[in-house]
Amino acid sequence: MTKWGIIGCGRIAHRFMQGLGSLPDTRLVSAWSRTPSTVNAFVEQYGGIACADVDELLASDIDAVYIATLPDSHAAYSLAAFKAGKHVLCEKPVTINLPELEIVLAEAKRSNLLFMEGMKPAFYPLYTRLKEHLSHDPIGPAGYVRAGSSVADVAADHPNFSYELAGGGLMQIGIYEAFLAIDWLGNLEDVQAMGRFGQTGVDMFTIFQTKHAGGFSQLYAGFDLHGKGDALIAGPLGHITIHKNWWNPARATIDYLDGRSVELHEPFAAGGLNYEIAHFCELLKAGEIESPIISHQMSRQMIDLIDRARAEIGLKFPAEK
Ligand SMILES: NC(=O)c1ccc[n+]([C@@H]2O[C@H](COP(=O)([O-])OP(=O)(O)OC[C@H]3O[C@@H](n4cnc5c(N)ncnc54)[C@H](OP(=O)(O)O)[C@@H]3O)[C@@H](O)[C@H]2O)c1
């Protein structure tokens, strides 16, 4: 039985509970959020102890903490969790920038505790099946990725638009595109970006292209255009389309150079976070401190890519000035 505590009881924490509820041998023990009414309503819905502060949560009978606050506080809560001897699953983007992540990773290693960023698409059944299919029916080494997402119906007061909370298109959405490019093309070598800013001082729409050991990507992320996208991954023997919305993947088409077309359908269940939670629990049971799928190096590369794209468009957060 993996016993969880949750820090931050907002939108994604509810989806986490949908996933957790679908899994055996794991349960919520305690929760804490800054606003008492938020945590009280949360435990009323899902059970568990409503903690008065983060220290009470970290002292409760839990194995792991799911950090579901906004990026400005991910590092501080991760470090507090390690100090209390708890393993950490932390929402994306894992920290504000790479230097902050390096501090977190050093402490995770020193504490010998499991730390993983919640990069959900990597664990979806479609994504896993796609990789498995390609292992016996390959398109050759991927050399190009084209993907993006722009979500135009987010409420104006959403923290995604907050400069102080490290919001913006690159941080909130671009991190998924970063994952896809690195996962298929390998180590990051270069980033170019152009972006436009909104009234709150974060990027509302950014296009960015990257160079990797294995090839090139062209990516976009934003909040002021309706552009929920698919993803294209091209190799010498064929190309893959992961149909929209590619970051919640359920369907893919592989078009081969020899004329064949292969369709993959793998609907996801329970909101989709269940797959990363199950992976994390398996790692815990095996005594691992790092995921082979969302490794520490993968998290480093993802936030490094976003750091470099932010530098290109001139977006620095308050702590970076
Ligand atoms: N994996 C995914 O599919 C996915 C999807 C959406 C978002 N996310 C990520 O999940 C994270 C949270 O996003 P969200 O949409 O759930 O945001 P949200 O709805 O605003 O929820 C955040 C929650 O954390 C609490 N909180 C914020 N700052 C805090 C702090 N310093 N200390 C304690 N509690 C704090 C909030 O405050 P109160 O207690 O005051 O209410 C709220 O309950 C972000 O990093 C986002 O990128 C992931």
The number of the ligand 1 atom at minimal distance from the alpha carbon of 172 is 47
Q: Is residue 287 part of a domain?
A: no
Query: What is the mean pLDDT of the segment spanning 88-111?
Result: 98
pLDDT of 228 above 90: no
Query: What is the mean pLDDT of the segment spanning 69-93?
Result: 98
On whether both 174 and 86 belong to a single domain, the answer is no
> Using 50, 70 and 90 to split pLDDT, how confident is the model at 216?
very high
CATH of the domain at 224: 3.30.360.10
Residue among 7, 9, 12 to mutate when testing ligand 1 (max atoms within 8 A of CB)? 12
On whether both 239 and 107 belong to a single domain, the answer is no
pLDDT at 253: 98
Rounded to the nearest whole angstrom, what is the distance from the C-alpha of residue 67 to the centroid of ligand 1? 8
Q: Print the domain residue range for 82.
A: 2-119
pLDDT tens across 163-179, in order? Answer: 999 999 999 999 999 99
On whether both 312 and 180 belong to a single domain, the answer is yes
Query: What is the mean pLDDT of the segment spanning 14-20?
Result: 98
Is the CB of 291 within 6 Å of ligand 1?
no
Q: Which of 172, 183, 188, 174 is nearest to 145 (CA)?
A: 183
Boundary of a domain, candidates 93, 119, 145: 119
pLDDT tens across 267-282, in order? Answer: 999 999 999 999 999 9
Rounded to the nearest whole angstrom, what is the distance from the C-alpha of residue 272 to the centroid of ligand 1? 17
Rounded to the nearest whole angstrom, what is the distance from the C-alpha of residue 33 to the centroid of ligand 1? 9
On whether both 131 and 238 belong to a single domain, the answer is yes
pLDDT at 321: 85
On whether both 18 and 147 belong to a single domain, the answer is no
Query: What is the mean pLDDT of the segment spanning 11-36?
Result: 97
pLDDT at 82: 98
pTM higher than the cut 0.95: yes
Boundary of a domain, candidates 85, 103, 119: 119
Query: What is the mean pLDDT of the segment spanning 114-131?
Result: 98
On whether both 235 and 107 belong to a single domain, the answer is no
| Percent of the chain residues topping a pLDDT of 70 | 100
The number of the ligand 1 atom at minimal distance from the alpha carbon of 73 is 31
On whether both 135 and 197 belong to a single domain, the answer is yes
